[in-house]
Structure 1
C-alpha cells in the first residue's frame, strides 16, 4: 500500500511539470524567454524614420551665394548670384496690378518684390535676356512654397519692380539686377527663406543649397 501511494505522487509531480512546461513555465516561476526574444525582434524590425534635413546657414541680403551657377534658361554662362533686397508691397498694388482679377484666391494676399543681382563670371550666355529669377523661390520654415510668382510675373506695378532693360549681350564681369513679384496668399505660412537653385526639385534640395534669411523693407 505504501509503494502504491509513492508511485502516485511521482506521477502527479511529473504531470504537473509537463503542464507547466506546456504553459511556458520553466519550473522556476519565471516566464519563458521565447516571447521576450520575439518582442526584441519585433522592435528591432521597426523602420527608422528618415533624418530631417535642416536648413543650411542663412545668407544675409547682399551676400553672394557660394560658388557659381549656370542656369538652364541662359543656355551658357556661369553667374555669381546675390539676393539684394525684398520689398513688401501692399494690397492696393495687388489690386492695381489686376492680380486679384486673374486669381480670386489672391484676395487679401501680400505681394513681395524680390531683387536678385547676377554677375557673369565665366562663359557666354546664348539667351541674353533670360528670366534668371525663375530659379528663385520663396519658402516657409519647412521648405515649402510660401509665395509664388503669378503667370504674369513682371511686377511692373506703380511702386513695384522697375521695367527691365533690353540687352544685346553679356560681358564677363557685367552685373544686372532683376526684380520679380511673388505673392503670398492670405492663409499662407510666413516666408522664412529666399532660395535660389538651378536644379533643386524638393524641399530638402532647397534646404541644402543657397538661401537668404527672409527680411523685407
Structure 2
C-alpha cells in the first residue's frame, strides 16, 4: 500500500505540472519569464506596429556676429583655461585667393569652390592655458540649415595671403582678460549647400550637438 501511494503521488504531481504549463506558467511566453524578442520589438514600435519618428533637433537662437556665446568654454587644445568665444566676422574670398594659396594644387576637388575667412575672438576669463599658441579655431564649423558641414578647413588652413587671414602672432603666455582673434580659411566645394550658421563647440561632433550649442547667423563681408 505504501508503494502504491508513492506512485499515485508521482502521477498527481506530473498532471499538476502539465496543467500549469498549459495555463502559461511562464509569464510572457519567453524563457525565464521574459518576453520574446518579437514581443519586445512589437512593444517598442507601439500598437500600430510602426517605429516612433525621431525627434527633430531645432537650432538654438542665432547669435549676431560679434556677440559672445553664453557661458565659458575650455577647449581641449588649450590645455586649460576657460574662454569667452565670439565669432566676429566671415569674409567671402575669391577664386584668385584660392589659386594663389595653392589649395587647388593640393586638392583638385576644391577647384571652383568658395573660400571663407572666419574670424573668432577668444578672451581668457579663468585659469591658465598650458598650450599658449593653440588652434582654438578647431572648434569652429560652417554648417547648412540641417546642421551638416557646408565648408571644410583644408589640411593647410592658414589662409595667409593678400586679402585673406593675417599672419598669426607668436605669444609667450596668456593673461586673464586678454583677447586674441584667430582667422582660418574654410572652403565650400562646388555644389555645397548654402551655409546657414557659423557654430563653435569644444566637444560637438554631430549635427544635433552643434545645433544645441552656440552658433551665429551666417553673414559674410
Asked if 1:62 corresponds to 2:93, the answer is: no
Matching residue of 2:198:
194
Distance 1:151 1:42, change over 3 A: closer
Asked if 1:150 corresponds to 2:154, the answer is: yes
Q: What's the Cα RMSD here?
A: 1.1
1:95-174 superposed matches below 5 A = 95-174=99-178
**TM-score (norm. length: structure 2):** 0.79
**TM-score (norm. length: structure 1):** 0.80
- Which has the larger Rg? 1
CA shift for structure 1 position 94: 0.2
- For this pair of structures, how many residues does the alignment match? 177
Once residues 114 and 186 of structure 2 are traced to their aligned partners in structure 1, the CA distance between those partners, rounded to angstroms, is 8
Matching residue of 2:217:
213
Q: Which runs of 5+ in 1 are unaligned?
A: 1-40
Paired residue secondary structure (1:163): coil
4+ residue runs over 2 A deviation = 41-45
Aligned counterpart for 1:179 among listed residues 166, 176, 183: 183
Matching residue of 1:44:
48
